[in-house]
């Protein structure tokens, strides 16, 4: 009888299992988001101020200004500075003057420098004046407005903002030095904007 041939089965090489990495999904309200990543740690969130909180902050700034500077007029830089300045003027019981600072956007090769589009009131002559904005970052608008107030004869000028930025311009008076993103009551309702609900 013919001997049966032994067949040797070839061993299959083990194939490396593919590990599932983070998958991307697209959201209609935001850029691509990574799934499978732990997001339980601290995140940078938007900080929203209510009208009640804003009023308390204004009263606090008003008391400090009255004690250390004794303002006789308030100038609010539009947009945000008009809300803050108007409230401060009311708290201090002094006259309020809104002004607008705009930036030239067509300058080529250099960043646009701030330019006063309104007129600094001549009624500031001989008065102690506070220049107000909501946020002070570079300080360009506050510094320019201060210079223009002095040009019309203001006796003394101080700068004020609700918020200033770390390593940025520091006004004479401010409520908080912070790098957080702030939503003020005159901006919009944060809770109704789907783009920011994930941050809350």
Q: Distance between alpha carbon 167 and the CA centroid of its chain, in Å? A: 14
Residue 132: what pLDDT?
A: 97
Residue 109: what pLDDT?
A: 47
Residue 72: what pLDDT?
A: 97
Residue 22 lies in a domain: no
Q: If you average pLDDT over every residue of the chain, what do you get? A: 76
Token pair recorded at residue 187: 């901006």
Residue 61: what pLDDT?
A: 96
Residue 83 lies in a domain: yes
For 152-176, the pLDDT digits (tens) are 999 999 999 999 999 899 999 999 9
Residues 74 and 181: their CA atoms lie apart, in Å, by 26
Q: Are 136 and 165 in contact (CB under 8 A)?
A: yes
Closest CA to 49 of 125, 135, 121, 114: 135
Q: Pick the residue with more confidence: 180 or 129?
A: 129
For 24-83, the pLDDT digits (tens) are 444 333 333 334 433 333 445 688 999 999 999 999 999 999 999 999 999 999 888 999
Over the chain, what HEC string results? CCCCCCCCCCCCCCCCCCCCCCCEEEECCEEEEECCCCCCCCCCCEEECCHHHHHHHHHHHHHHHHHHCCCCEEEEEECHHHHHHHHHHHHHCCEEEEEEEEECCCCCCCCCCEEECCCCCHHHCCCEEEEEEEEECCCHHHHHHHHHHHHCCCCEEEEEEEEECCCCCCCCEEEEECCCEEECCCCCCHHHCHHHHCCC
Residue 188: what pLDDT?
A: 65
Closest CA to 160 of 129, 131, 120: 131
Residue 34 lies in a domain: no
Residue 42: what pLDDT?
A: 45
Residue 68: what pLDDT?
A: 97
Residue 101: what pLDDT?
A: 78
Residue 13 lies in a domain: no
pLDDT-derived band at 114 (thresholds 50, 70, 90) equals low
Structural domain that includes position 63: 47-103+112-183
Residue 68 lies in a domain: yes
pLDDT-derived band at 186 (thresholds 50, 70, 90) equals confident
Long-range contacts of 49-54 (CB under 8 A, 24+ apart): 49/182, 49/183, 49/184, 49/185, 50/185, 51/185, 54/87, 54/184, 54/185
Least confident of 94-103, 119-128, 130-139, 184-193: 184-193
Mean per-residue pLDDT, 173-200: 70
Residue 21 lies in a domain: no
Instruction: Say how many domains are in the chain.
Output: 1
Residue 166: what pLDDT?
A: 92
CATH number for the domain harbouring residue 53:
3.40.50.2020
User: pTM of the entire structure?
Assistant: 0.67
Residue 2 lies in a domain: no
Residue 59: what pLDDT?
A: 96
Mean per-residue pLDDT, 85-104: 89
Q: Are 77 and 87 in contact (CB under 8 A)?
A: no
Residue 12 lies in a domain: no
């Amino acid at each position: 009888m013919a001997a049966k041939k032994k067949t040797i089965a070839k061993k299959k090489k083990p194939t490396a299992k593919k590990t599932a990495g983070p998958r991307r999904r697209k959201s209609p309200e935001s850029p691509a988001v990574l799934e499978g990543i732990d997001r339980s740690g601290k995140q940078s969130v938007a900080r929203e101020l209510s009208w009640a909180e804003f009023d308390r902050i204004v009263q606090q700034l008003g008391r400090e200004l009255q004690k250390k500077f004794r303002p006789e007029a308030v100038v609010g830089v539009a947009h945000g500075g008009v809300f803050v300045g108007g409230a401060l003027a009311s708290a201090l019981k002094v006259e309020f003057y809104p002004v607008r600072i705009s930036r030239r956007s067509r300058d080529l090769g250099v960043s646009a420098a701030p330019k006063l589009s309104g007129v600094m009131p001549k009624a500031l002559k001989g008065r102690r004046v506070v220049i107000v904005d909501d946020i002070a970052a570079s300080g360009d608008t506050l510094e320019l407005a201060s210079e223009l107030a002095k040009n019309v004869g203001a006796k003394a000028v101080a700068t004020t903002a609700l918020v200033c930025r770390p390593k940025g311009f520091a006004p004479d008076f401010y409520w908080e030095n912070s790098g957080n993103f702030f939503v003020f009551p005159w901006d919009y309702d944060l809770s109704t904007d789907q783009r920011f609900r994930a941050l809350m």
